[in-house]
Structure 1
Amino acid sequence: MKNLLSEIKKCTICEPYLDLGANPVVTAHKKSKIVIVGQAPGTKVHASGIAWNDASGKQLRKWLNVSDEVFYNTEKFAIIPMGFCYPGKGKSGDKPPRKECAPQWHTQIFNKLPNIELVVLIGMYAQNYYLKDKAKRTLTETVDHYPEYLPDYFVLPHPSPRNRFWLTKNPWFEKNVVPELQKRVLEILKN
């Protein structure tokens, strides 16, 4: 695993298309139990090199009901975004994750993770890539039907502060889905 992560950290496949250059952010350990598959790092994560080291990460850890210490313990959590580098600024937020990363690296990483008990798919890019035709028409529908994807996948919206409107419009998520996520995560981490 160390050799593979080292190789990924040197990756420059899509560097010509990246506003801030390549700085792959990915963590994993052969003992990881839960994989977080998000979109791509933002500018703060790009600068620090620490995944989910921003407001979105704080919200995600709240949803998971885990401390920073537990979240960043690679023997517990692997963090494998759809795009490993900051993709740049788009018209309404960041650009989508680059499409080169997942096909190039995800299978290689997952092949070295024999202890995975749950993959958390955050946002439409991760859900569409992994669920393929099983993803619903919208992210809201996919998240609302989360039990269909268990026990392998748990689907979530992006925890970005920009999604406050979505969370307000869909109170069932924090009332019904988040407690199930927390229960599942706790069960896995206890073992």
Structure 2
Amino acid sequence: MTIRVRRSGPDDRAAILRLMAAARGDGLSPDERAERGFVQGTMDEAVLARFEAGTGVFLAEEGDRLAGFAMTSGAVDPPDGPPRRTLEAARAAVGDQRIFLYGPAAVDPSFQGRGVLSLLLRELGAQLRDRFDLGVAFVEDANRKSLAVHRHYGMTEVPGFSVGERRYHVFTFEPAQFALPEAK
């Protein structure tokens, strides 16, 4: 079957929230979480609905199976903590550009290695490239898998920040770098 990517809607929320909960890696040791990668935080349907109403939640599916998702949100009044600090770090590094937040993103383990994240980045890049100059993501230092993924995709690392004992890396990318060229 073919994996297709689209924006999520109300009927997709339960599956997205289940994958997000599984991707947190609760119950794993710190080393297992670092090697496997993990998603931070929790979300409910109301928060997910706000993401969907904004810049969007992109999902990849094969048939009726959720393969992965990538969330995006606008840079207007982000919550305190890592999202706000990420925007501050990005703006300090790149100046006044049109920025959106990228993440969290997760791929179901049974779909990993099949290009799901590439498909998600391609679609969100195509849909957001005309409205934004940069996507910005934060990754906790303890999340070795996610750090490797962001570096693999050639995202630019700018100076990060700390919140309490946790150190975060900040990555920027131009959405157009992932979008396929427009057909002429």
Q: Fold-level match, TM-score > 0.5?
A: no
TM-score by length of 2: 0.28
Larger helix proportion, structure 1 or 2?
1
TM-score by length of 1: 0.28
Larger strand proportion, structure 1 or 2?
2
Larger relative contact order, structure 1 or 2 (CA cutoff 8 Å, min sep 6): 1
